[in-house]
Chains A and B, each alone.
Chain A
Amino acid sequence: MKLLRLQGFPILQQLYLEERLLRATTHNWCLINQGTNPPAIIVGISGKPEKLLDVKAVLQDNIPVIRRFSGGGTVIVDTDTVFVTLICRRDAVTLPDLYPRPIMEWTEHLYLPAFQTVPSFHLLEHDYVLGDRKFGGNAQSIIKDRFLHHTSFLWDYQDFRMAYLKLPQRTPTYRLARSHSDFICRLKDYMPSREAFTDYIVKAFEQQFRLQEISLDEVEKTQPSSVPHITSTQVFTTADLQQSIMPLIVKG
């Protein structure tokens, strides 16, 4: 598995890269990106901004909204987020079928050694939690004989940024109508440093894969972006966002 470590890489570029590595290459990949700039809101492939976000506030504060190519929910990411992505061939896992739930459970198994020092890490419904507090969501994209699983871990977060996200219509049962701040937690309260965290992750992955570190330049050279493939990642323009809330305004 090729390991690509990034720092502060813009999330839009990261999503474009991930989609390319998933659809247009045949290797197994692991991407770890420590933080992103500028802050952005990422919705899932079927996400509708008007349902998930306080669009007016988002427009006012000029926060980019990106639709990613994988399923799942909405996140707001910034320099305090740690992204970990796995892109695998079917033969990299011993699962009979590439279905979302077994893949998620496989990742729990994979991540477990990384969280040995932290109490109560586990997968609860669709989220990674410590006890009953979420610190990482995850999403997947499954294509023929390959899949991608990516997570944004909350190393830290700013409360005011969470305010852009509405309470989603579908919430996990274990959330129990808690507010954002009672529902999530910061990984920095449990780990010595971000670098230590990413080291733990790499060590955990090394238990199942032989990791070969690669630089971004090498990736660009060996996996050129000229290979055509489906791109589902897109940025919502200001016009898109304004349009999305138009009917709501008209209805008053």
Chain B
Amino acid sequence: MYVGMRTTSRGMRSVIHELSIGLKRLTSLRPAFGDGFVHISGSYGGGGAVGGLLQSELLTTNSGGDRIISVSRFHAVASMPTTTTTTIIGAESRSSSLLLPAMAIPLADPSRLVQARFNSSSNEVLTADLGSRGGIVEIELAQTGEGIADCELIRWFVKEGDMVEEFDPVCEVQSDKASVSITSRYKGKVSNICFMPGDVVKVGETLLELIVNGSSNEQTPVPAAQQEEQWQEEASTLRRGVDPENASEEGVKKEILATPAVRHMAKNYGISLVDVVGTGKDGRIMKEDFMKHVAAKEAVREDLEPEGHIEELSTSVDGDEYSPIPPATDSGYFSGEDTIIPIRGFRRAMANAMTAAVKVPHFHYMEEMDVDALVELKNTLSTSIPLPPGVKLTYLPFLIKSLSAALLKHPIMNSTVNEDVTEIRVKASHNIGVAMATSFGLVVPNVKNVQRMSVLEIATELSRLIQLAGKNMLATEDISGGTITVSNFGAIGGKFGSPIINVPEVAIVAIGRMQQVPRLQGDGSFVNSSVMTVTWGADHRVIDGATVAHFCNEWKLLIEQPERLFLHLR
């Protein structure tokens, strides 16, 4: 059922340290959990920022070989002062019941489960020894939505004295516009109902208390021996899937069946396919198998997109379309201690992409462009034409369209190069990637077939991609197949960059801030002019300086004289 752990430590650092030791012992008991994970619930003093740090700490200290840990739920009890001693009520597996008994082995004290509650104001320690009290557990109101701090209790499905099974619904609450059923995580008898219908319950508050019957050995809903057997079966099935493929180090690639896309992904992530269990025909490793393996290995539950090549920070030229959102861990919470940020998800993908790009000899080319005409055009159009909701007409759609028009004259800039540098594939479609900073990290979705799209269509598609990026809901399709990348950091600031190519593309442009500068006219007078600097990065194995210069000149012409785009209209 669950493992109880108690810490008497003060301060988050010590708590995490103790937890990590306990969790490591847990995972050492069962090394191959597959996609199982440990779910830790509890309460602690401090706000959401503390919770975030606590979670990422646990992920870090329990990753790297241990495939199990994912902290899926941790509740902040805001009323407790920060860095007071912390209660960890239990750890349980949520993903499958067969994992439960393996972890239903008490750590701190082999003979009983202990739950400790710390009184934050007096620092008294009140311990409830489950052996003597028959094991009272609290079921708290779990998070029912991001940013939701409380819910209204609608009704109870149980009353004091009733027996409940694991996963039985116990009550219903209203959250936002949803009625949500709350289920019990434990089997037991209802001993205390803490709220009445109509009450507002804060997330983390105890809804009801259950008496969990018997000693610690009988905590599991299913007899431990039976579950143990089930687990053994599962583990051996997993191993069977791997063994036939695992001939020798040398022949590993030939012996392991995997789709080319999967092999490519494995290369990008630097992960060997030897340990991946394939569920396709003849044990073939499918994309889903690989992603599951990566998630388990790095204890990440979000989707790692396979070709998510990431670029450095970018925002819109306006500064209001793609606002940079700082990563969640930069919460401003000062603990006086170093912060460790695990490299996972988008960060990991960025690290991998940059590592791949290091092999490419880059050169950089800078240019300054006069954007007065573009500013005027954009200001006129964005105020006078009706736009679909959520769509903004910024400079970027114009820049992207003119980039595409210039690519028609210099198509080699829209290419990819193969790994052994034996051929350049000049791409017909202009799939222009736009680097975006999100709270999840850097992501580069691309607008497909810009050569066929109007400026308005590009703006609409950009809005769609931005919205999805902000919610981490971009599809694989959205972030793969890019042919050239635009990185627009200008709205944050800065004039010049030295962008790193999105391998296997051959070029990338970083767009700096627009600024007003005085320009000397022919007659000796000065006028205010808007200028914008761009920095090109190109793969010098296949592109030379002259090519970039000619191409950039063409693009500059279209930006400085946008009316020239008329000539390309069909």
A-to-B contact residues, CB < 8 Å: 44-46, 69-73, 94, 96, 99-105, 119-122, 126, 131, 138-144, 147, 230, 232
Contacts and interface: CB of A to CB of B under 8 A. Distances in A.
- Summarize B's interface: helix, strand, loop or mixed: loop
B174 A101 contact: no
Contact of B178 (A105, A122, A142, A230): A142
9 tightest Cβ-Cβ pairs between the two chains A and B: A140-B178, A100-B176, A99-B145, A72-B177, A100-B178, A143-B181, A71-B179, A45-B179, A71-B174
Interface string B369-396: 0000000000000000010111000000
Contacts of A104: 177
Contacts of B473: 94
Contacts of B145: 99-102
A140 B179 contact: yes
A105 B471 CA distance: 10
A126 B176 contact: yes
Contacts of B183: 143-144
Given A45-B179, A119-B388, A230-B157, A143 B169 contact: yes
Nearest to A22: B181
A78 B172 CA distance: 29
Interface of B: 143-148, 152, 154-155, 157, 167, 169, 172, 174-181, 183, 198, 301-303, 386, 388-390, 471, 473
A45 B181 contact: no
A196 to B, nearest CB: 21
Contacts of A122: 389-390
B179 A230 contact: no
Given A120-B389, A122-B390, A232 B144 contact: no
Nearest to A45: B179
Contact of A69 (B146, B179, B303): B179
Contacts of A126: 176-177
B179 A102 contact: no
A137 to B, nearest CB: 8
Between B148, B175, B178, the greatest number of chain A beta carbons within 10 A of the residue's beta carbon is seen for B178
B175 A71 contact: yes
A141 B389 contact: no
A106 to B, nearest CB: 8
17 contacts: A44-B179, A94-B473, A100-B148, A100-B176, A100-B178, A100-B180, A101-B146, A101-B147, A120-B388, A122-B389, A139-B178, A139-B179, A140-B178, A141-B178, A142-B144, A144-B169, A144-B183
Contacts of B157: 230
Nearest to B176: A100
A43 to B, nearest CB: 12
Given A99-B145, A142-B180, A230-B169, A45 B388 contact: no
A142 B181 contact: yes
B133 to A, nearest CB: 29
A140 B177 CA distance: 6
Contact of B177 (A121, A138, A143, A232): A138
A121 B390 CA distance: 10
A204 to B, nearest CB: 15
Contacts of B386: 119
B169 A73 contact: no
B389 A100 contact: no
A71 B473 CA distance: 26
Contacts of B152: 46
Given A72-B177, A99-B145, A101-B176, A144 B167 contact: yes
B195 to A, nearest CB: 14
Nearest to B155: A232
B529 to A, nearest CB: 37
Contacts of A72: 177-178
B181 A71 contact: no
Contacts of B303: 94
A143 B178 CA distance: 10
Between B144, B303, B386, the greatest number of chain A beta carbons within 10 A of the residue's beta carbon is seen for B144
A70 B178 contact: yes
Contacts of A102: 145-146, 471
A208 to B, nearest CB: 12
Contact of A141 (B148, B167, B179, B302): B179
Contact of A100 (B175, B302, B390): B175
Given A46-B152, A143-B169, A144-B183, A71 B390 contact: no
B512 to A, nearest CB: 33
A44 B174 contact: yes
Nearest to B181: A143
A46 B174 contact: yes
A131 B389 contact: yes
Contacts of B144: 99-100, 142
